[in-house]
Chains A and B, each alone.
Chain A
Amino acid sequence: DTGVSQNPRHKITKRGQNVTFRCDPISEHNRLYWYRQTLGQGPEFLTYFQNEAQLEKSRLLSDRFSAERPKGSFSTLEIQRTEQGDSAMYLCASQPGLGDTIYFGEGSWLTVV
């Protein structure tokens, strides 16, 4: 039984560089979510997809952030021109359908130096 897989697990990057995180959801899960979690805080919603359609984006998702889910399978979250404030754990979660519980991955830690 494979759960939600996220890669890379850790990324250290210099300010101004671009980074991309990948999330592979549980097979046949239609919905996929991205959250961000900073130290000492609970996760904050960023965006979600139903199949390949991005249905909601948080105001936290500035224009430097872009998420895609081509073909409704894996998803990528790209952060352009990273800033120190982007340092956080980026969590992905998938959900079979609207009324179901979501399942989180282990997260991708980003440190911007």
Chain B
Amino acid sequence: AQTVTQSQPEMSVQEAETVTLSCTYDTSESNYYLFWYKQPPSRQMILVIRQEAYKQQNATENRFSVNFQKAAKSFSLKISDSQLGDTAMYFCARNYGGSQGNLIFGKGTKLSVKP
């Protein structure tokens, strides 16, 4: 089965600290995208960061960066200088079939940032 696995159901971090969320995936496609989405309570899901599989350089968006290990099919998210507004569910996802809209999601990690 082609799946996305997030092994950490819940995590917490102190404000201003760094936290890493884990994700592994499976795919038979040679080119694909990987994503981290954020879903705050009762709010819409928004894209945090994305990585193209053929690019070796890890993607970075401000305080968010990824560690993409293609051979290991691992795609972790690092949040630096955590802020209270980072509290949310975080979903790892990969696309299939060539479109960035056809997504397979993991079960999510609930991140709590504590003051």
In the complex, what residue of chain B is closest to A104 when comparing beta carbons? Answer: B45
B48 → chain A closest CB, angstroms: 11
Tell me which of B12-20, B68-76, B80-88, B105-113 binds A.
Answer: B105-113
Within 8 A of B (CB), among A16-43: 31, 33, 35, 40-43
- Given the contacts A43-B45, A43-B91, A105-B44, A98 and B50 also touching, CB distance less than 8 Å: no
Docked pose: A99 CA to B108 CA in angstroms: 25
A42 touches B105 (CB 8 A): yes
Interface residue? B99 (CB, 8 A) = yes
Docked pose: A102 CA to B107 CA in angstroms: 19
A107 contact set on B, CB distance < 8 A? 44
Measured as residues with beta carbon below 8 angstroms from the partner, the interface class of chain B is: 20 to 34
A48 touches B102 (CB 8 A): yes
B50 contact set on A, CB distance < 8 A? 101
Query: Interface of chain B, helix or strand or loop or mixed?
Result: strand
Query: Interface of chain A, helix or strand or loop or mixed?
Result: loop
A95 touches B101 (CB 8 A): yes
Docked pose: A42 CA to B91 CA in angstroms: 7
B101 touches A93 (CB 8 A): yes
Docked pose: A91 CA to B103 CA in angstroms: 13
Docked pose: A43 CA to B94 CA in angstroms: 12
A103 → chain B closest CB, angstroms: 8
Docked pose: A101 CA to B43 CA in angstroms: 18
A3 → chain B closest CB, angstroms: 7
